[in-house]
Amino acid sequence: MPTILTTFMCQTPANIASALQLLAPLSTDERDDALTYLLFLLDADTVYNAALGLSSLPLVLLVTQHSQRGPCKYLVSLDTLKAIRSKKHQHYNIADGSLWDEVVKLMNVSSLHRSALRISADDKQRYSDICIEYGDHLANTSDWAQAAAVYLLGNATRQAASAFVQAKE
């Protein structure tokens, strides 16, 4: 198992999620050994965040138990996530925390702005943030009229006005 885990960690970027998914079918002793080895290779916070990204609360709890850092700092967020019954809402709450920057980066790199707008329609603040990110993306591609419209959706009137001026030129 250490060889396989090392292989996943040597990938660029490290494939932590796949390594964690390998732990599920293992026996308790094998899983404990593999997780200890993984925590030796990587920072506990990195492994914790990857486990959160998989939305596997038992796995997240296992990571907190095996990391050398006290689980106290994780317990509040774990209790909050356990209280949420819907997996979709758990994913959303995870994105609300420390992973939001990663979500925005992925959205920008993969041009997933429209999908993100659909998903975040119920949350006014996230919707506005995504509109501004999308408007910035459109402005960077010189699609000024579309950027202005998207900025308006996000209540970014200054950016919208600037984009309208650019569209007219």
pLDDT digits 0-9 by tens, 44-72: 778 877 777 776 667 777 777 777 655 55
| pLDDT score recorded for residue 159 | 93
Residue 69 or 120, more confident:
120
Q: Please give the average per-residue pLDDT across 138-148, as a whole number.
A: 92
Q: Please give the average per-residue pLDDT across 119-147, as a whole number.
A: 87
| pLDDT score recorded for residue 7 | 82
Residues 5 and 22 sit within 8 Å (Cβ to Cβ): yes
**CA-to-CA distance for 169 and 32, rounded, in angstroms?**
63
pLDDT > 90 fraction of the chain, expressed in percent and rounded: 18
Q: Which residues have C-beta within 8 Å of that of residue 142, sequence separation ≥ 6? A: 166
Q: Please give the average per-residue pLDDT across 136-143, as a whole number.
A: 90
**CA-to-CA distance for 146 and 56, rounded, in angstroms?**
39
The DSSP H or E segment spanning 106 is helix 100-110
**CA-to-CA distance for 144 and 92, rounded, in angstroms?**
31
pLDDT > 70 fraction of the chain, expressed in percent and rounded: 76
Residue 62 or 102, more confident:
62
DSSP 30-97: HHHHHHHHHHHHS-HHHHHHHHHHTT-HHHHHHHHHHSSS-THHHHHHHHHHHH---HHHHHHHHHHT
Per-residue pLDDT at 110 exceeds 90: no
Q: Is the pTM of this model over 0.85?
A: no
